[in-house]
């Protein structure tokens, strides 16, 4: 892992695994917004802080691994796995995410993210098991 891939791993280590909210101000430029985590909504540093705190109410600090990365100039893309344990001590689970981030001077200046929130919320018992299969069959969620 080199260059921006190391910065990406630092982001996940500090912000998500350690819950270091101040690292958001260090690693993300204050005037940017990211796309993708919440459909139709761009998230800036302040909203990211709230997202980390909110998810932290649902799960213990996760173990996040940047499994695969590709770098091209200032850009790095990563395939991420997150191992999480629900706060209610239900069964630990793993879900995945993808990110596409541009760094300038060691800080995130542009980011596009996706996360398997269906798997995440199924694992927390907030969505029914096999949600995607149910939806593909035409069954509405009750």
pTM: 0.86
Q: What is the pLDDT of residue 21?
A: 93
Q: What is the pLDDT of residue 1?
A: 56
What does the pLDDT look like over 48-63, one tens digit per residue?
Answer: 899 899 999 999 999 9
Contacts for 73-77: CB closer than 8 Å, 24+ residues apart: 74/4, 74/102, 74/103, 74/104, 75/4, 75/100, 75/101, 75/102, 75/103, 76/3, 76/4, 76/5, 76/7, 76/8, 76/100, 76/101, 76/103, 77/101
pLDDT under 70: residue ranges of the chain: 1-2, 38-39
């Amino acid at each position: 892992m080199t260059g921006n891939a190391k910065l990406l791993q630092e982001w996940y280590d500090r912000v998500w695994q350690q819950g270091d909210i101040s690292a958001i101000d260090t690693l993300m430029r204050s005037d940017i917004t990211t796309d993708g985590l919440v459909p139709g909504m761009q998230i800036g540093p302040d909203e990211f802080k709230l997202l980390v705190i909110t998810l932290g109410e649902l799960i213990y600090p996760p173990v996040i691994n940047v499994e695969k990365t590709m770098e091209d100039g200032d850009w790095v893309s990563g395939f991420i796995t997150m191992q999480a344990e629900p706060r209610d001590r239900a069964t630990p689970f793993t879900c995945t995410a993808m990110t596409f981030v541009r760094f300038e001077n060691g800080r995130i200046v542009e980011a596009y993210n996706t996360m398997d929130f269906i798997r995440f919320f199924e694992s927390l018992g907030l969505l029914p098991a096999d949600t995607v299969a149910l939806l593909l069959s035409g069954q509405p969620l009750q």
